């Protein structure tokens, strides 16, 4: 039996990983022939593993997915395309903003699951993925994310959007 907390966690993380995969797909649509293509593909491949894992949990534990998936499909891809069109630094700034938000989000989930022994495997999954999200953030920083024009504003806008997406996907 899936309790309410785990259900909310699985629903929102499935939505988030879906969105993340779409962001990198959008960036690859623009930068697929750039020198960053391999890096973007590496991150997209990891997001796909994250997404497949949560899709598996959605099915196995009969969690209702968020009704907003069609929206995250378009919004994620659009965010990827727009930031990539602004340049590789803006694309990397998007990655840093998204992954920093997800790091906080996953850390909070790990803390919330701390005392729930039944959910130890879910917690371990989240911890593993969080380490990879931090790797993505570091890739963004190593590729001059902070030198993007309007970095602070861009970062703030994307983080605000991510947080709104998280709040909606937990419930809707
Ligand atoms: Fe991910
Ligand atoms: Fe990521």
One digit per residue, the tens of pLDDT, for the chain of length 172 reads 458 899 999 999 999 999 999 999 999 999 999 999 999 999 999 999 999 999 999 999 999 999 999 999 999 999 999 999 999 999 999 999 999 999 999 999 999 999 999 999 999 999 999 999 999 999 999 999 999 999 999 999 999 999 999 999 988 9
Contact 92, 145 (CB under 8 A): yes
pTM of the model: 0.93
Tell me the CA–centroid distance for residue 38 and ligand 2, in Å: 15
Q: How far away, in angstroms, is 20 Cα from ligand 1 center?
A: 6
CA of 94 to the centre of ligand 2 (A): 11
For residue 13, which ligand has an atom nearest its CA? 1
Ligand 2 centroid–CA 136 distance in Å is: 6
Output the CA–CA distances (angstroms, integers) from residue 137 to 122, 123, 140, 145, in the order listed.
22, 21, 5, 9
Distance 39 CA to ligand 2 centre (A): 12
Phi and psi for 2 in degrees, rounded to 5?
A: -90, 125
């Amino acid at each position: 039996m899936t309790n309410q907390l785990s259900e909310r966690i699985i629903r929102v993380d499935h939505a988030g990983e879906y969105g993340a995969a779409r962001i990198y797909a959008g960036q690859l649509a623009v930068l697929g022939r750039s020198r960053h293509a391999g890096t973007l593909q590496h991150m997209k491949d990891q997001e796909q593993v994250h997404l497949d894992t949560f899709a598996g949990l959605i099915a196995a534990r009969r969690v209702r997915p968020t009704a907003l998936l069609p929206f995250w499909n378009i919004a994620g891809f659009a965010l990827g395309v727009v930031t990539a069109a602004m340049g590789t630094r803006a694309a990397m700034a998007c990655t840093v903003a998204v992954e920093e938000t997800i790091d906080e989000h996953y850390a909070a989930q790990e803390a919330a699951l701390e005392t729930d022994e039944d959910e130890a495997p879910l917690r371990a999954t989240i911890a593993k993925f969080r380490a990879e999200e931090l790797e993505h953030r570091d890739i963004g920083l190593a590729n001059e994310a902070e030198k993007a024009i309007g970095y602070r504003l861009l970062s703030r806008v994307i983080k605000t959007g991510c947080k709104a997406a998280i709040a909606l996907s937990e419930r809707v």
